[in-house]
Amino acid sequence: MTDFEHRRVVVTGLGAITPIGNTPEAYWEGLLRGQNGIGTITLFDASKHKCRIAGEVKGYDPQDFMEGKDAKRMDRFAQFAVSASSQALTDARFEISDLNAYQVGVMIGTGIGGIKVLEDQQKVYLTRGPDRCSPFMVPMMIANMAAGLTAIRTGAKGPNSCPVTACAAGSNAIGDAFRLIQRGYAQAMICGGAEAAITPLSLAGFASARATSTRNDDPAHASRPFDRDRDGFVMGEGSGILLLEELGHAKSRGARIYAEIVGYGMTCDAYHMTTPVPSGEGAARAIQLALKDALLSPEQVNYINAHGTSTPAGDPIETTAIKKALGNCAAKVAVSSTKSMTGHLLGGSGGIEAIATVLAVARDQIPPTINLVTPDPECDLDYVPNVARTQTVEVALSNSFGFGGHNVTLAFKKYV
């Protein structure tokens, strides 16, 4: 047995900018209330779009976390990531100094990156010519800049990277950060996901692919995972960031520990650009690999935060995958989709959903799946419909699946 297998990794800090709250506590309280974060788009004029609804972040001012001149040099997705990372470090009472900077890393995933800057600068190029494009366009647009800017602002000089695996990116970032600490490459990692893709071009692309809901006249009920009347996902935006630490390091400084991260499963369907393999085989293997990595059995799982996007194809396939992975235990596990409240944050979803999973373990509460009125017969698990539940959660999983066939499952358990 190698040394890294003895290195335990725990969650000591949380940061969240979401459509239902801009702190981890506000987000968590919103989840437990079943708060709807979906509304008519206000970020731009969406009147000509097929889909005119989204889960926008509300009441957010980047200058609460950074100076205005710095905010102007960041795309919105990077602003979200830097802000949530600042919250996570504050929450953990973790200081980065010359003494530990090389042992603290950053891993922040995104699916799309700085698309607003790209769209805005394309307009400048077409109307004013190439010489008028901003010199900040490229560094504001590129996907790795959330991780890079977070490191610049915090002084974290350890491992730094940016998974870009579509809607699995945030979970890949957390899993990869977990591995880096486990193997001794870092003592702590700032990790998660960020996205700000509620833009005209992005929305048009998803709508043309018939992926989004068109329940424009009823946004509060548009995101309805596992419900028979679902008609597509609703885009969201924001960032969820966790601070992971090696257990000994966390204990040595008297850190509060929310939960332990114990497993990471990652697979690919190798099937289709956008559609999951109908058998659910790839997702099922990700769940099984996470459990194997964690040395856990299906009987020990109490809760799954589902990918649950509210798409006609995706929800029943995930249901099948959970059944394949857990066997007879699947019917006994509470499963919920918090995307019913936040919408789908794409590459940012794994971050905020990992926070929900960690807090379910820490608080013994399970957030509901709202808008589940008429269950789909193909989706026949316990989806915690509409009302939060209080029950002991010793072990919880978080699923994230992305275009391209990417599948990720993270496993968390109570720290003892």
Output the average pLDDT for the chain: 97
* Class of residue 377 by CB neighbours under 10 A (exposed 0-12, middle 13-18, buried 19+): exposed
Percentage of the chain surpassing pLDDT 90? 99
For helices 349-363 and 169-182, what crossing angle results, to 10°? 60
Q: Which class in CATH covers the domain with range 263-413?
A: alpha beta
DSSP 8-state code for residue 9: E
Mean pLDDT computed over 5-16 = 92
133 catalytic residue (yes or no):
no
**CA neighbor of 177 nearest in space, from 78, 243, 252, 258:** 243
Please tell me whether residue 179 adopts helix, strand or coil conformation. helix
In this model, does residue 2 exceed pLDDT 90? no
Give CATH 3.40.47.10 domain extents, the chain: 10-252, 263-413
Q: Give the pLDDT mean for 133-148.
A: 97
Whether residue 24 has pLDDT greater than 50: yes
Separation of CA 143 from chain center: 15
Whether the Cβ atoms of residue 139 and residue 72 lie closer than 8 Å to each other: no
Average pLDDT on 113-118 reads 97
CATH code for the structural domain at 10-252? 3.40.47.10
As a whole number of angstroms, the distance between CA 57 and CA 282 comes to 32
Q: Among 51, 162, 307, 406, which one carries the catalytic annotation?
A: 307
With vertex at residue 21, the alpha carbon angle to CA 144 and CA 173, rounded to the nearest 5 degrees, is 30
Distance CA 176, CA 191 (A): 9
d(CA 257, CA 365): 17
Average pLDDT estimate for 198-227 = 97
pLDDT in tens, 64-85: 999 999 999 999 999 999 999 9
Do residues 167 and 407 touch, judged by C-beta distance below 8 A?
A: no
Choice among 162, 167, 191, 379 that is catalytic: 167
Residue 90 CB partners (closer than 8 Å, separation 6+): 13, 15
What was the pLDDT predicted at 295?
A: 97
Residues 292-304: tens digit of each pLDDT: 999 999 999 999 9
For residue 5, the number of C-alpha atoms closer than 13 Å in the C-beta half-sphere is 5
* pLDDT for 212 beyond 60: yes
% of the chain surpassing 70 pLDDT: 99
Give bridge partners of residue 215 from the DSSP assignment: none
Question: pLDDT tier at 1 (50, 70, 90 boundaries)?
Answer: very low
> Nearest to residue 46, comparing CAs of 224, 237, 234, 216?
216
> How many angstroms from the chain centroid is the CA of residue 84?
12
- Give the rounded distance of the alpha carbon of 384 from its chain centre: 20
Query: Which listed residue (191, 344, 379, 406) is catalytic?
Result: 344
The alpha carbon of 123 is separated from its chain's Cα centroid by a whole number of angstroms, namely 30
In this predicted structure, what is the pLDDT of residue 5? Answer: 58
Task: Look up 344 and say whether it is catalytic.
Answer: yes
pLDDT single digits (tens) 338-360: 999 999 999 999 999 999 999 99
Q: Which whole number is the average pLDDT over 122-139?
A: 97
Q: Rounded to an integer, what distance in angstroms lies between the CA atom of residue 295 and that of residue 331?
A: 21
pTM above 0.95, yes or no: yes
Q: What is the 3-state secondary structure (H, E, C) of 63-84?
A: HHCCCHHHHCCCCHHHHHHHHH
Best CA proximity match to 111, nearest among 199, 226, 232, 41: 199
pLDDT digits (tens, 9 = 90+) for 269-316: 999 999 999 999 999 999 999 999 999 999 999 999 999 999 999 999
149: left (phi over 0), alpha (psi -120 to 50) or beta: alpha
Q: How far apart are CA 166 and CA 348, in angstroms?
A: 9
Residue 402 pLDDT greater than 50, yes or no: yes
CA distances from 289 to 246, 298, 326, 408 (A): 22, 11, 12, 9
Q: Calculate mean pLDDT across residues 330-334.
A: 98
407 forms beta bridges with 267, 401
Strand bridging mode 334-336 / 303-305: parallel
Helix 281-294 vs helix 314-326: angle between axes, to the nearest 10 degrees? Answer: 40
Taking the CA atoms of residue 388, residue 394, residue 395 and residue 398 in that order, the dihedral angle to the nearest 10 degrees is 30
- Which residue matches tokens 């000089």? 157
**Angle subtended by helix axes 115-128 and 200-208, to nearest 10:** 110
